[in-house]
Amino acid sequence: MLYTHATIITVNTNRDVFTNGAIFVRGNLIADVGRSEELILKYPEEETYNLEGHIVIPGLISTHMHTAQTLLRGAADDLELVSWLCERIWVLQGNFTPEDGYAAARISIAEMLKTGTTCFLESMFANRYGFGGLCKAVEESGIRGCLGKIVMDIGTYAKDPKWAMHPGLVEDREMSLLGAIKMRERWDKKANDRIRIWFGARTPGGVSEGLYKEMASISREKSIPITMHCAEVKADREFFASLSPPQTPMSFCDNVGLLGPSTVLVHMVHLDDTDIAKLAETNTHVAHCPTSNAKLASGICRVPELLNAGVNVGLGTDGAPCNNANDLMQEMKLAAIIHKAKSYDPTLVPAETVLEMATINGAKALGLEDHIGSLEVGKKADFVAVDMRRVHLQPYFSPVSAIVYSATGADVRMVVVDGEIVVEGGKLKTMDEEEVWKEGEKRGHEIAERAGLGEKVKGRWPIIV
């Protein structure tokens, strides 16, 4: 297929932008990128797809996502973190069934595809959600998924008994670590290499040092990447400081073998200068989730300092209960503006940097930069077409600024993953969207009732039926 007459933001080495560009796809690979008139002459026998009026970008890559939590969208709004986790989210998640997990994965993936995300990193899918169902949902939908199976052996947060997990979520070494290895043996590189299996470690304090070290050793031996929440809230830094001897987030992670180019650390809000230097030294990646951090009042990640130090920073939405959307297009805008507000410097984190975070930086974080993240010959045909023929998007002058500051996921009209059109005309082609959201609606409410939270999740004002 020859896709023609689009403005194409390649994010290639030169950061070329074609105002009347074309992409030639052969199989699941990009075979050519250039000016429309040149490629039309070069491939006269090929079927064409006219994308006039659209901006085409590389498929967006979310480096932090909780697929199970989409069934809990809006169930824990405007709560501080202890109540959010212990009284709502963990209780609800502790009442999941494998069928709920599959439905949650499907509605999460449907939303991501429709809003331009073609690859995501699932942070820590629990055993009770049915890991095979998550893999099945990825396989059926056509998306790419790097899927973190939870690794843990302590059922509290930062070893604080008041931050205890719901019993239904607690796993031991055999179920979590060894279970992740079994899932990798079964699913890694399946679905035409669209599935990759990761270790999804719980936050320090939720995993013993011995299990961290064992996981890190297996990670190096078997080339299994690691993702983990870290330094998200002040309580995390206080936990590290309480150890003997006192440590910082990154000194702890370094001591147990977690740092390196195959690790993505998530949130990373409460870092000092030594932490940032250690991240740069070890080539460890960071997933920035500005909406989640702002909504849960966790703070603001030091992204400008991380970037200046040479740390690779990707972008993630986190889960629906602390974002309410899985739309990485919206996340890009906040990522661009939140650091300007904090620093009083409007030049920090410009639109171009944010688009890199959502594409090529994300690909680097996932170890897939040779395959996705930019529109270049030889890479996988993963791209998104945004329809700019709308009143809220015109006029525009910089295509990159228009994507980051003006467009949202609702403006996505076409999504191609692995050479296949999975969204066309804004509609899913690989899933029945109505079936997906109706099943998600039904199961979300059933979970709330099973958890005994049916009334609490309805908000602060009276609901009259």
Structural domain spans, the chain: 2-58+380-428, 60-365
Which residues partner with 252 through β-bridges?
A: none
Residue carrying structure tokens 């082609």: 429
Please tell me the distance from the alpha carbon of residue 319 to that of residue 98, in angstroms, as a whole number: 18
What's the pLDDT tens digit per position in 186-233? 999 999 999 999 999 999 989 999 999 999 999 999 999 999 999 999
Q: Check: CB of residue 146 under 8 Å from CB of residue 119.
A: yes
Cα 102 to Cα 73, 113, 194, 223, 372, distances in angstroms: 16, 16, 18, 27, 26
Amino acid at 289: C
Give helix then strand counts, H and E, for the chain: 19, 19
What's the pLDDT tens digit per position in 366-409? 999 999 999 999 999 999 999 999 999 999 999 999 999 999 99
Report the pLDDT value the prediction gives residue 158, as an integer from 0 to 100.
67
Residue 370: other Cβ atoms inside 10 A: 12
Two tokens, residue 434: 């109505």
Mean pLDDT throughout 340-364?
98
What's the pLDDT tens digit per position in 413-458? 999 999 999 999 999 999 999 999 999 999 999 999 999 999 999 9
Amino acid at 458: K
Two tokens, residue 455: 């009334």
- pTM of the complete model: 0.98
Strand ranges (DSSP E) for 38-116?
Answer: 48-50, 54-58, 60-65
Please tell me the distance from the alpha carbon of residue 51 to that of residue 23, in angstroms, as a whole number: 10
DSSP one-letter code for 40: H
Two tokens, residue 178: 């060894």
Please tell me the distance from the alpha carbon of residue 433 to that of residue 443, in angstroms, as a whole number: 15
Say which CATH class 60-365 falls into.
alpha beta
Q: Check: CB of residue 269 under 8 Å from CB of residue 293.
A: yes
Cα 308 to Cα 83, 98, 189, 275, 290, distances in angstroms: 36, 43, 34, 14, 18
Coil/strand/helix, residue 82: helix
Please tell me the distance from the alpha carbon of residue 401 to that of residue 140, in angstroms, as a whole number: 34
What's the pLDDT tens digit per position in 396-405? 999 999 999 9
DSSP one-letter code for 85: I
Name the average pLDDT for the chain: 97
Cα 461 to Cα 73, 319, 464, distances in angstroms: 18, 24, 10
Looking at domain 2-58+380-428, its CATH architecture is Roll (2.30)
